Amino acid sequence: MFSVEVLNQVEKIWEEGGNIAQFLRKLEQNVYNSKEAILISYEYQSGTYVDGYKKNPKNINTYAKQLSDELKLLGGFKTILECGVGEATTFKQVIGNLDIPLKNSYGFDISWSRLKVGMDFLKENIKNNPNFFVADFSSIPLCDNSIDVVYTSHSIEPNGGNEKLILEELYRITKNYLVLFEPDYELASDEAKIRMESHGYAIHIASTAKMLGYNIIKRKLLEYSINPLNPTSVIVIEKSSNSYKKESDDIFQCPITKTKLIDYGEIYFAPQSHIMYPVIRNIPCLLKTQAIFGFKYL
């Protein structure tokens, strides 16, 4: 994590309307955004997506309807997860438009503050309480084949250079379909490509999925993108039924030991390894860096 001095600089950049991610990339001398840079950028942005939605909901509603329409084409499913759910402005509309009786809906984000803002936003806007938790793409705390449909919405985008790791994790946890609503570098205009490169975005999503041998059954640009210079495509990946032999009713697993996590209210606990994760304001914090060894907890 960055020093207090750097964080003070970040706060000043934020107050002046500057680009935090760009500043941190230069500081770290990285072409791509580090996990820490993404986390800090999102923490400072917390609340801006909900504020933007309340001022002009039409853009998000139009965009999200396309997502739910694509997801409905997959047929019946009982569980769904949005990865990088942020403040849940897209999630709200997608779930609301599905008209499918869901058993459970899930969402995770690397930023606790974004999830807190999102949960407060959903209290007045959605009937069923979703299961939100803090996690990151590199080690998702969910069991293999645990979610029927897993989707992203511009959340792989800032993770340039990590396409392979992220897609492998997303593919691992999905049972039936992985649906990626992400900027498509190969289908974008030259101007959009330059922009994506300058921001350190993921530009090898489709080619990486092909390299991994995944069964891509659809790939096309959506008719409407919120930002024309960041055009969204949909990539639908159908998971092979024999990709993973083991199936389980368990949902959560320790991101370190990959063993079962049990919800004890105040913590999520892995009995086999005695590792526990805090729950802060009803949000489980399931990052590796948030793990606590608690041999005597039980």
Residues 70 and 136 in one domain: yes
Residues 122 and 158 in one domain: yes
Residues 89 and 142 in one domain: yes
70 found inside a domain:
yes
Residues 117 and 14 in one domain: no
Residues 75 and 189 in one domain: yes
Q: For residue 14, what pLDDT is reported? A: 84
- Residue predicted with more confidence, 28 or 169: 169
**273-289 pLDDT per residue, tens:** 999 999 999 999 999 99
Q: For residue 258, what pLDDT is reported? A: 96
Structural domain range at position 12 = 4-51
The total of structural domains in the chain comes to 3
Q: For residue 245, what pLDDT is reported? A: 44
**138-186 pLDDT per residue, tens:** 999 999 999 999 999 999 999 999 999 999 999 999 999 999 999 999 8
Residues 106 and 128 in one domain: yes
283 found inside a domain:
yes
- Per residue, what are the HEC states of the chain? CCCHHHHHHHHHHHHCCCCHHHHHHHHHCCCCCCHHHHHHHHHHHCCHHHHHHHHCHHHHHHHHHHHHHHHHCCCCCCEEEEECCCCCHHHHHHHHHHCCCCCEEEEEECCHHHHHHHHHHHCCCCCCCCEEEECCCCCCCECCCCEEEEEEECCCCCCCCCHHHHHHHHHHHEEEEEEEEEECHHHCCHHHHHHHHHCCCCCCHHHHHHHCCCEEEEEEECCCCCCCCCCEEEEEEECCCCCCCCCCCCCEECCCCCCECEECCCEEEECCCCEEEEEECCEEECCHHHCEECCCCC
Q: For residue 287, what pLDDT is reported? A: 97
**235-279 pLDDT per residue, tens:** 999 997 655 445 557 799 999 999 999 999 999 999 999 999 999
Residues 14 and 162 in one domain: no
The lowest-confidence range among 15-29, 144-158, 220-234 is 15-29
Local confidence band at 128 (pLDDT 50, 70, 90 cut-offs):
low
243 found inside a domain:
no
